[in-house]
């Protein structure tokens, strides 16, 4: 289905496979799955935010077509794979709910000569990719991931975590400016494309409350074709930039018309965690036998604060680590901020930052966002800063992550991935974005200052109304926390 704003759909349901169990409808945060029980469901692409939770929960798959000959069964399967633009040698079942693939497009482009092939990886990938190769949930493998990407043909292996550090510099400065000089409050994060699309459809009158920052993925993309191009002495036109993401909405974000600078797309293509795993297997790479290799400098060096963007509350925690020190000129006494860490739902807190009583909220799962947004519309929300993530545990539970059939395994995976993310942060030598030496160098040599002219041109964006919005649909959503915290 084509949307009224001419956006190509990302999420699909095969009507020949769907049994109408409506498990997908049960996890859709925006009511975009339509159909009667027992009948094939459809996706209302005008309402869908492309989070992919329906793909994760779908358990109905094509049989081996036992009523057909082996040759006929192979032909029928190959036809479906081609319709979904999936690699022909994928061996897993074909589920009724699925998302659009980009792997064939990327592998074809990788064979083009005369280009610098660059890849970036989101923080959630390094704690989930190994699961596709039989390792325990949450196994941390950044080094093997970097090694695999080089063997797939990439010339530079960069990290979206670097972009997360840049985001904190820009978004933190933007928040401080709004609080101290005036501006729409509360300010919402803008890292999650499903959340941004949700706001554009459901609450277009509140778009000025979103941070103007591009997501970390798009920031790295913009820097790859400017700062990175200068360092490599290569023309931006000769750079092919790929992002590996846990999210099924990232290709939509990548394709937004405004996500370009000076005529060049920030990011050329996006692959999910599962697509990367398929590709590694397709090439016969023994992932678990790979050596640990480093990411390339400078756009591959990151702080612990950049790492925790992969979990709910991570953006908020990273922002407080930097914002506290920028506002007070004092060292933050404790870097582990447990009051913003948690599970699906809403968490709120008041944080003493010097003389400012900073009121913050963290939302995990878009179905919980209605409550706060209705209050903002009514002028009854006095928070300063709100983080919103579309998926229940943040990016580690994204629609493009390894598919787990049992709810018990899903919960175990979420806990293990989150623990691994926080452990990676705790083990980092640098745990605050503004102390990352490569971030300091970026601003000294290229950007100048946060929210400056160059940053505004490359790293900030605009959002657009995609629907008429609607009246209050506030759902019951409990809040956790609502406590006062002093960081002294």
Which residues are identified as catalytic?
A: 171, 174, 191, 211, 250, 253, 258, 395
What's the chain look like in SS3?
CCCCCCCCCCEEECCCCCCCCCHHHHHCCCCCEECCCCCCCEECCCCCCCCCHHHHHCCCECCCCCCCCHHHHHHHHHHHHHHCCCCCCCCCCCECEEECCCHHHHHHHHCCCCCEEEEEECCCHHHCHHHHHCCCCCCCCHHHHHHHHHHCCCCEEEEHHHHHHHHHHHHHHHHHHHHHHCCCCCEECCCCHHHHHHHHHHCHHHHHHECCECCHHHHHHHHHCCHHHHHHCCCHHHEEEEEEECCCCHHHHHHCCCCEECCEECCCEEEEHHHHHHHHHHCCCCHHHCCCCCCCCCCCCCCHHHHHHHCCCHHHHHHHHHHHHHHHCCCCCCCCCHHHCCCCEEEEEEEEECCEEEEEEEEECHHHHHHHHHHHHCCCCCCCEEEEECCECEHHHCCCCCCCCCHHHHHHHHHHHHHHHHHHHHCCCCCCHHHCHHHHHHHHHHHCCCCCHHHHHHHECCCCCCCCCCCCCCCCCCEEEEEEEECC
Count CB-CB contacts under 10 A for residue 198: 27
CB 187, CB 209: distance < 8 Å:
yes
CB 172, CB 452: distance < 8 Å:
no
In Å, how far are 64, 271, 315, 451 from 176, measured between CA atoms? 58, 34, 15, 11
Q: Which residues contact 99 (CB under 8 A, 6 or more apart)?
A: 10, 11, 12, 50, 52, 55, 248, 272, 399, 400
Distance (Å, whole) CA 369 – CA 391: 11
CB 81, CB 101: distance < 8 Å:
no
Distance (Å, whole) CA 160 – CA 142: 12
């Amino acid at each position: 289905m084509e949307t009224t704003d001419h956006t190509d759909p990302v999420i699909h349901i095969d009507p020949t496979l769907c049994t109408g169990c409506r498990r997908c409808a049960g996890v859709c945060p925006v009511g975009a799955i339509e159909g009667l029980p027992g009948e094939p469901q459809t996706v209302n692409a005008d309402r869908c935010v492309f989070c992919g939770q329906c793909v994760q929960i779908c358990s109905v798959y094509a049989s081996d077509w036992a009523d057909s000959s082996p040759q006929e069964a192979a032909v029928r399967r190959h036809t479906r794979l081609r319709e979904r633009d999936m690699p022909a040698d994928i061996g897993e079942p074909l589920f009724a709910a699925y998302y659009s693939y980009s792997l064939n497009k990327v592998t074809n482009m990788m064979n083009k000569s005369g280009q610098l092939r660059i890849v970036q990886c989101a923080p959630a990938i390094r704690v989930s990719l190994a699961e596709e190769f039989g390792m325990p949930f949450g196994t941390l493998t950044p080094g093997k991931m970097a090694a695999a990407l080089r063997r797939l043909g990439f010339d530079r292996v960069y990290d979206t975590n670097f972009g997360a550090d840049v985001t904190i510099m820009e978004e933190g400065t933007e928040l401080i400016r709004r609080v101290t000089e005036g501006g729409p409050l509360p300010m919402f994060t803008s890292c999650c494309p499903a959340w941004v699309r949700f706001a554009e459809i459901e609450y277009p009158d509140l778009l000025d409350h979103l941070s103007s920052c591009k997501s970390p993925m798009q920031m790295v993309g913009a820097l790859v074709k400017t700062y990175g191009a200068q360092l490599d002495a290569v023309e931006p036109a000769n750079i092919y930039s790929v992002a590996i993401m846990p999210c099924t909405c990232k290709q939509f974000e990548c394709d937004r018309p405004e996500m370009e600078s000076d005529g060049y797309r920030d990011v050329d293509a996006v692959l999910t965690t599962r697509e990367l795993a398929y590709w590694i297997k397709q090439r016969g790479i023994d992932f678990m036998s790979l050596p640990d290799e480093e990411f390339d400098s400078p756009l591959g060096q990151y702080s612990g604060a950049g790492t925790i963007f992969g979990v709910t509350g991570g953006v908020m925690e990273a922002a407080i680590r930097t914002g506290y020190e920028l506002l007070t000129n004092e060292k933050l006494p404790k870097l582990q901020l447990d009051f913003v860490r948690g599970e699906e739902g809403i968490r709120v807190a008041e944080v003493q930052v010097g003389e400012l009583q900073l009121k913050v909220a963290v939302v995990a799962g878009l179905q919980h966002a209605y409550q706060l947004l209705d209050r903002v519309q009514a002028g009854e929300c006095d928070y300063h800063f709100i983080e919103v993530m579309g998926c229940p545990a943040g990016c580690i539970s994204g629609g493009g992550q390894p598919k787990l059939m049992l709810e018990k395994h899903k919960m175990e995976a979420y806990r293990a991935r989150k623990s691994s993310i926080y452990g990676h942060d705790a083990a980092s030598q640098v745990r605050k974005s503004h102390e990352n030496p490569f971030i300091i160098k970026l601003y000294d040599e290229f950007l100048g200052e946060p929210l400056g002219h160059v940053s505004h041109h490359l790293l900030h964006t605009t959002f657009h109304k995609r629907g008429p919005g609607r009246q209050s649909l506030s759902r019951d959503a409990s809040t956790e926390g609502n406590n006062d915290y002093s960081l002294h």
